[in-house]
Chains A and B, each alone.
Chain A
Amino acid sequence: MKSFEYVITDPVGIHARPAGIMVKEIKNLIGTTVTIAKGEKSANALRLMAVMQLGIKQGDTVKVTVEGGDEAAAAATLEKFFKEHF
């Protein structure tokens, strides 16, 4: 299991469009389960609406956890993705 924390800089937070692209990206990470957590609440990152329901806003710290598959590569890919989109 690998994880990283990220502070959201996008003014709208995690919104539908980039979240949708994220789901596509994660589908390419074969055998890896990705979880996004904000405080107590967490969601499987493949579940678009559940991720949106976390209501992640600018300034929030999220914890992204990857499990299974090539964890190191998956974490690196996702960290880059978060920096670019959120």
Chain B
Amino acid sequence: MSKVNTVLGTIPAEELGFVAIHEHIGYGMPGSELDTKWWKTPEQRYEETVPKLRQFHEYGGGTFVDATGICNGRDVDYYKSLSAKTGVHIVACTGFVGGDTALPHFARATVDYLSRQFIHEITVGIGGTGAKAGIIKVGVSRGGRMTELDKRIYRAAARAAAATGVPILTHLAIDPEPAVAIFNEEGLPLDRVLFGHVDDGVNAPITPDTWIVQQGGRLGFDTFGYETELTDPPFWARPRKDRMDHFLRFVQGGQVDRVLASADANCSPLGWPGVKGHTVNYIFEVLIPDLRNNGVDEETITRIFVDNPADFLSIRN
């Protein structure tokens, strides 16, 4: 049987249902917790978050994968309460969004130590929560090139993924050659890696997406909704049509099994303003109607949001 770790326990992959593969309950850069400008009361946090998850559930959403790494405000006890009260499965991650979000204790650590941290969180649990991580997050630091620390984290993640069977999800897919080399050296099949954010406005032009697929990797079109059409778009926004055309090149070009899609929205951002009006439910409210309007059939939509994620998230050992 295929299994997936969620914050409330290990479940059969068949139970995942419709999956949002790259989302955040709340994300903040390490240190943002010291700045009161971002603080909200717990009442406000729940008020901002619960209706979005309930709506997601009502639309038919089954599983919310939280890609908030260690040190970025990951709060597993909170996720457990949200999952229990809304009926949405939440998969938490181990790992780091990028080297620049790993605090000194981890930034100074060896590959061996980092891999033990990840394996512990996958097989024993995250802190005292008892919840096991279901994916490993890695990423490229700001600046466009993988740093030495980024590479150490990728190698540790590759070892943890190989040892536990849990997949890897990346923040950014720019400069992927060193990443692919590390995964190959560590013997991790590349279909266990989702190269994320191939579709954002800043990075899409410099991401060798076809090359990644040729190597065997999966592509994450996972910033749907961050569009220049918004009133106050973030710097990584992209025109809606450009992103859709980009996505369709793979979906309609025989590569549908290589793609996953998500909105990378924050239910309640922790250390930044967030993007007003952008939620995980963009997937149901805008993206899926858009796909249908572009002639994508129901079976293909199911493959993107149900079958591919189940295959990817299933612990493979």
Chains A and B are bound partners: no
